[in-house]
Structure formats: structure tokens, C-alpha cells
Structure 1
Amino acid sequence: MSVSYRAVESLDREVRLLRDQDLPDVLEIERTGYSFPWTESVFRDCFRPDYRFWGVFVVGELAGYAVVAYMADDAHLLNICISGRNRRSGLARHLLRHLVREAATDGMVQVLLEVRVSNQAAAELYLTEGFADIGRRPGYYPSSSGREDARVLSLKVSGTGD
């Protein structure tokens, strides 16, 4: 099933591509959001033509980000994180819809992602946005007890940009 997304409008929210000067705020959100955060060098590598590095801002302040790699006609969501004080505010859904819409506009056929099997809240968000389970990656994520499996989810996008 192909899903079409329309813009989620809000006067106090803005999504834009991130710049180098946004990295300190990205790193702060990453470090507080994950037990095994990405490094600054990993984020610096995301400023490439085949990546989209989006930030969602609330009243001019970075509240979250998403990293998407474009590979052939697939958009692979590699990382999405919302700051602690902005969680459960709809910003993750807002950012997810934006990146899906942009992937469709850019001619991508599907959006793929992995999510920890233990992260029920994130999985629920993706499933309510039309993503479907397509597989599992054993031992994909580091965890305090070794490794944790990932669910692989996919969403077909229209590619029409509407």
C-alpha cells in the first residue's frame, strides 16, 4: 500500500536541513537520548549528498533530528531522536512525516528503518504511520546485556511528492 503525506502545519515548528553549527545541539540530544550514542564523527559524515540530515525546531530551538541515507531508490532512516523535554509532543511524528514526504518528492520508492524490539513506543509510532514489519536483524543493536534484535520496517511511498 502506498501512503501519501501532507504537510503537518504548525506556527511554532520548523523542519530544515541541519548545518555544521547545529552539531553541538544534536550531540546533546543524542547523548541524553541513547545509551549508546553516535559520535560527533559519525554525525559529521552525515553531511553528504546522499544523506538528508533534518532538524525539527520549536520556537527556533533544536528539538530533534533525523538522519536518512538515500540508497538507490530506498530512503533508510538511520537515526531519529527527540529531546527529552519534547518527547510525546507529536514532534517525532511531525519529523517522520516530513522525511517521508521529502523521500517521495526525491523519487524514493520506500522508507526503511530498524527499531529495537524493546522500543514499543517507537514501533507503535511507525506502525500507526503505515510502516509494516518486513523482517528482523538478530543482534543488531548494542545493549547493556550484549546485543538486541531489531525489527525491520518498511513504508512504500508514492514518489509523487503530494
Structure 2
Amino acid sequence: MSGLKIAAEFFPMNERDLDAVAALEASLQIFPWSRGNFEDSLTAGYSVWVLRLGGDLIGFSVVMSVIDEAHLLNIGVCKRYQGQGYGARMLRHAMECARLGGAAKLFLEVRPSNERAVELYRHFGFRQIGTRKGYYPAVVGREDGLIFDKELA
């Protein structure tokens, strides 16, 4: 072996990716998005991307833009590749796509129990601007959603 490292690359999500993206999402979430949710995002023209390492799909993001604002609807990285900087790359890419699409601000919601994600968003300068009470389904009852935003300009 030459020790060459394979670079991860971004590609626009397409119909052929839907099964793999839905399977990845199901491996990450207790209450995952369905394949139909991702398909609807494609159909709606959202900014939907996958991250591939070699031929393997290791991450995805979904961003909805409206006028000069964008909303990060979903983002995920395969558990095997978490903690290696791929989540940060996905987030940077999502922010840049939103900015290039004309968004001045990016919003998102996150579970307080998703401490790694909360830490990542804060690291990138997102600030908590509110809480949606009972926003997420939980194993018992509901879990709040922390609302974050970040200026992109």
C-alpha cells in the first residue's frame, strides 16, 4: 500500500441515493426521516447533498431556502466516521451552499440530548435563540428542540 488517503467528496443527492440515505438515517435516529421525506426534499428542490468516501455514502444534508433564509432540516454522518471531522465538513458545506443560494442566515433545531451536535453548532458560531417545547418525539413523551441560528454573510 502506498498510504494514500481517499478524499471524501460531495455530490448532489439523487434518486439512486434515496435507499442508502434512508438506511443511514435509520441507523442514526430513533425516529428517522422516511425515504419519502428525502424524496420530497429532492422533489421540492431543496439543497440536498451526500458525502462519499470512495464509493461509500457516509453523510448527507438537507437545507431548505426561502428568500434570504435557510433552514438545515437534516444532517447525518455514518457512526463509523463520526469524530473524524466529516460532520464539520458537512456543516461547512451546507452553510456555504445556503450562502451561495442567497441565504443571509441559517436556522436549525437540535435535541438537547444530542450533545455532540449542540457542541458542533456552537463551535461554528451558531447561537441558541429559543426552544420549541415538545418538538421531537421521544421514547417517553416528547423532547424539546433547541433553535439555533447563524449569520452567513
Normalising by structure 1, we get a TM-score of: 0.88
| C-alpha contact 1:50 1:71 (8 A) present in aligned 2 | no
- Asked whether 1:22 is paired with 2:25, we answer no
| C-alpha contact 2:47 2:97 (8 A) present in aligned 1 | no
| C-alpha contact 1:82 1:91 (8 A) present in aligned 2 | yes
Instruction: Give the secondary-structure state (helix, strand or coil) at the position aligned to 1:138.
Output: strand
Instruction: Give the secondary-structure state (helix, strand or coil) at the position aligned to 1:46.
Output: helix
Corresponding residue of 1:106: 101
Corresponding residue of 1:4: none
Instruction: Give the secondary-structure state (helix, strand or coil) at the position aligned to 1:135.
Output: strand
Size of the aligned set, in residue pairs, is 149
Identity percentage of aligned residues? 36
> Which stretches of structure 1, 4 residues or more, deviate above 4 A after TM superposition?
none
> 1:35 corresponds to which letter in structure 2?
I
Pairing partner for 1:81 from 69, 76, 85: 76
Corresponding residue of 2:132: 137
How big is the shift at 1:120? 1.1
Normalising by structure 2, we get a TM-score of: 0.93
**Higher RCO (CA < 8 A, seq sep 6+):** 1
| C-alpha contact 1:110 1:155 (8 A) present in aligned 2 | yes
How big is the shift at 1:11? 5.5
Corresponding residue of 1:91: 86
Flag structure 1 segments of 5+ consecutive residues without an equivalent: 1-9
Q: Which has the higher helix share?
A: 2
How big is the shift at 1:64? 0.8
Flag structure 2 segments of 5+ consecutive residues without an equivalent: none
> 2:149 corresponds to which letter in structure 1?
S
